[in-house]
Structure 1
């Protein structure tokens, strides 16, 4: 399938370790490390006109690329570099295939014109624009905080995208065994904490409450609940798991133990306040009913930060969103 030059140091990784390669199976996933132009050309014999999706993240021509590219071409050299690879990529694409090419503001306009020429302008589905970071204070120029992904196809077919919310996937079916997973040499981390900042719930003194005009609990009574939070060392997890399971409360074990660095963390969100008693003068003592059972187990209480005039605050997200994101895990 591939040229001898590409296969000069091929390795096959399986659950048993590194194995010798006799032949490639159609179901094998390939990672080709080396000259990508040679790799693309070597794929043509078997895969020309058969590839459904191609994603390219080329050197941005900024001088900052971390790979062994010459990431400081002049414009003409960079365009030739890209042209050679895009022409091969076009040959690999199926008629209904799509190619995504990422770039920053430095070359994206040139790249768009080049791709218009290779894939034809009518086959441009659009350009995705991503905000990279917060705007910096700069009074001398317009901020360039975006990256771009140009999307093309070989033919101008309708472009249909479907989305699957990972947070809605049922990962575990046996709730009684959730807390025992870290004991079986597995650990988890919260993959959505960087997206929704829900990891901030895990620290007392957080300012992760709603802001703006409607930031009080009286304004958003559905956004008041308590997060009961505990941190554990690895040698404490087994006994802790047994204690929590013995309490025989499905609500406690519906939240997974997360491993973050060398600490194990457990956070339980409970709607433990009496909304019918809420008024402008309410205090935490008036409306919140602390779960003493969890306090005895060593949990700390985290509630929405107070607002102006010591008024009760509310969270940014509903308890349902907290629960959905908290259980979205990936294997470490």
Structure 2
């Protein structure tokens, strides 16, 4: 037998040209999907990815005239200032307090509302209620707070009701102890309806045979909610709670900034408004960047920790 016949046939790999041509063909075939995806990609690239590289000024004594590359490197000095500055500790305390109140009162609100809507038997009435409670989400914070101010001003509706009941009028916006309750009520009013969408979707996946069997066995509405509905959406609640912990130092800049005044600034000033004050008004770019980076690191650590704790208790985590 000839030597050439005994040698195995060489299988040539696909040509790179053919691979590239196939990739171009696929991209062209799905071009409309990529065009739809393009605005979102540009947004995240411009406002989320590229700004990450700007965090390097947190480790510098940044000078806008020198630029990022020529500014002096000072290491962790800006981060040391965070723990030495009494003003930072004050706004950090305010931020944690407002975030804690949001988790306690705002986070459960859409769960309760979703369960209540799920119990409405008449579909048309249910949709009307959903449309009404969704509506505030589409208003800007400027509109929401303007409406709130109309109700809370000295001649507003709430003070008129108080005076008609024999009480003295209340200057709501000048009392620092009322600042956080007003923030919580506004947030519940604006976002609760929209947040119910996720929980209503989770409720729709519940096996209705379980609910029917529980009803036959004599379980009333409260027992069905406690023993069937809440455990069934427990995974969704856990994941959203973990995600909420990641933004525990985000108290809502726009809402709080629009409500701040000299009377409530002591308790209403939070990390976001502090960063704005230092970075924009006082041009302390490096320190404000360090505070913002510190806030992001804390949120990241909290997400990892909460996810690990949840998994230790046998629940499904975020990842």
Q: Same fold (TM over 0.5)?
A: no
Name the structure with the higher strand share. 1
Q: TM-score, normalised by structure 1?
A: 0.17
Q: Which has the higher contact order (CA 8 A, sep 6+)?
A: 2
Name the structure with the higher helix share. 2
Q: TM-score, normalised by structure 2?
A: 0.18
